[in-house]
């Protein structure tokens, strides 16, 4: 359980709505289980499908190459919101949101 203490504290602080009860099982993990979880991929590629399919738990920001995607977005994103770049009003960029909010849309809708 000590091997997962940092992750447990991180998860506790993610949401003011409280994840504590939902994540209590983490405290019972031993070091081998923690290591196994840390090694799991954030994405799965299914090359046998045509076209090749990339699976993620939550979402990906459109227009951002996979190697630059945020792991946190890949596990928590629900929607994206279009935000104009302050330096170039013609340039736009998507921002991830964990919950649906005014002005946000499901990330898959913009792909």
Confidence of residue 101 (pLDDT cuts 50, 70, 90): confident
d(CA 62, CA 42): 17
Residue pLDDT, tens place only, 36-51: 988 889 899 999 999 9
Tokens 């994405």 belong to residue: 43
Q: How far is CA 64 from CA 41, 50, 59, 67, in A?
A: 18, 22, 12, 8
Q: What is the pLDDT of residue 5?
A: 58
d(CA 78, CA 109): 11
- Residues 48, 67 contacting (CB under 8 angstroms): no
Stretch 16-21: mean pLDDT? 51
Q: Residue 105 pairs with which residues in a beta bridge?
A: 80
Residue pLDDT, tens place only, 39-92: 889 899 999 999 999 999 888 988 888 998 888 888 889 999 988 766 665 555
Ramachandran angles phi, psi of 51, nearest 5°: -75, 165
The answer on pLDDT for 22 being more than 70 is no
């Amino acid at each position: 359980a000590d091997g997962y203490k940092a992750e447990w504290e991180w998860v506790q602080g993610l949401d003011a709505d409280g994840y504590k009860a939902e994540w209590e099982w983490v405290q019972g993990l031993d070091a081998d289980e923690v290591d196994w979880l840390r090694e799991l991929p954030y994405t799965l590629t299914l090359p046998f499908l045509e076209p090749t399919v990339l699976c993620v738990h939550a979402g990906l920001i459109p227009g951002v190459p996979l190697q630059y995607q945020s792991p946190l977005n890949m596990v928590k994103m629900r929607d994206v919101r279009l935000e104009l770049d302050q330096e170039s009003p013609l340039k736009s960029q998507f921002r991830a949101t964990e919950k649906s909010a005014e002005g946000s849309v499901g990330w898959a809708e913009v792909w």
